Structure 1
Amino acid sequence: MNSKQPITPYGWAIKQRLAEMMLDQKEFCARYGIPPYRLSNLIHGTRRAQRYRDQLEELLNLPADE
């Protein structure tokens, strides 16, 4: 049984931009001071984490509220 949360469309957008920037999640978090668990929350939609969502939208040039 797989206990992992599915990735949301917003999460896929984050992963796509990180791939385009040739950064993995761990490196991105370290570079921009984002806790890895918060990035995971946003990718999987388990928490809104608005402060980090706003920061991601700016850093990754993502549309708001995708």
Structure 2
Amino acid sequence: MNSKRPVTPFGWAIKQRLTEMHMDQKKFCELYGIPPYRLSNLIHGTRRAERYRRQVAELLNLPPS
């Protein structure tokens, strides 16, 4: 399931913050109870996932755009 979907600006912001926190996506999801596929949706813009968008933006201190 490694189809090359582009990463959105919000997705890059998520990846950058996780790197700064020395945390991978899997660990972040486990820690905050976020389904990994939802985080993937946010990173690739495949679904709006508003609830998780707000939660992730808040946890990572990002603007929710």
> Considering the TM-score relative to the shorter chain, is it more than 0.5?
yes
Q: TM-score range by the shorter chain?
A: over 0.9
Alignment gaps of 5+ in structure 2: none
Structure 1 counterpart of 2:55: 55
Q: Percent identity?
A: 77
User: Aligned residue for 1:29?
Assistant: 29
Off by >3 Å, runs of 4+ in structure 1:
none
Of the two, which has the highest radius of gyration?
1
TM-score under structure 2 length normalisation: 0.93
Deviation at 1:26, TM superposition (A): 0.2
CA distance in 2: counterparts of 1:3 and 1:17, whole angstroms: 24
Shift of 1:64: 2.2
Q: TM-score, normalised by structure 1?
A: 0.92
CA-based RMSD: 1.1
CA distance in 1, matches of 2:39, 2:52: 8
